[in-house]
Structure 1
Amino acid sequence: MSLPILLAIDDETKEHIGSSHNVTLVRPQGDIIALLISQEIYKHNKEERIGGTTCPGLPYVEEHIIPSRTWLIDSDLQVFQPIKYNDRLDHHYSLSP
């Protein structure tokens, strides 16, 4: 079973991407780490993630779902540099896409 890798983006990023077919993922230091190939952008259906409720006051809804970004990118991923978390688990347990 394949597992989709999604990237949540805001309206400004969606406009910046425009109709581009590929998106480059860059570290804050400027290193290119991956390329999203033939990406598709979807509306982030937040209600689907929270069981159909938008009830304010629920901790998970307020802290994680409502503030999440509006759009999701789904794409094939070409990784140029391994993603490392520097938590001493990278070598044995972290898998790369």
Structure 2
Amino acid sequence: MRRDVFQAIADPTRREIINLLAQNELNLNAVADNFEISRPAVSKHIKILTECGLIVIKQQGRERYCRAELKKLKEVAEWTNLYREFWNEKLDALGSFLEDEQTK
């Protein structure tokens, strides 16, 4: 299944994992310790985040460490900016309309 960054951030647990790893690089057990779900469930979330390029895992000895790769979130920021600009224009137009109505 092809996954994208939007699918990855749609889940609140995955967003929290990204927030956690944005602060520190952690091993898989340390990530799982922050959640009240099973380790296999956390592993599944990490797998999805890795497939989307939001997390990079590197092996150090016997441990696997996760690190957030936040550059991929730029795609989300660009997409939301399109709608921010759209709504800013609409709200500015509404503000102008209301000001015109008040002066009449």
Regarding TM over 0.5, the answer is no
> Which gives a bigger RCO, structure 1 or 2 (Cα 8 Å, sep 6+)?
1
Rg bigger for which structure? 2
Quick check: which one's helix share is greater? 2
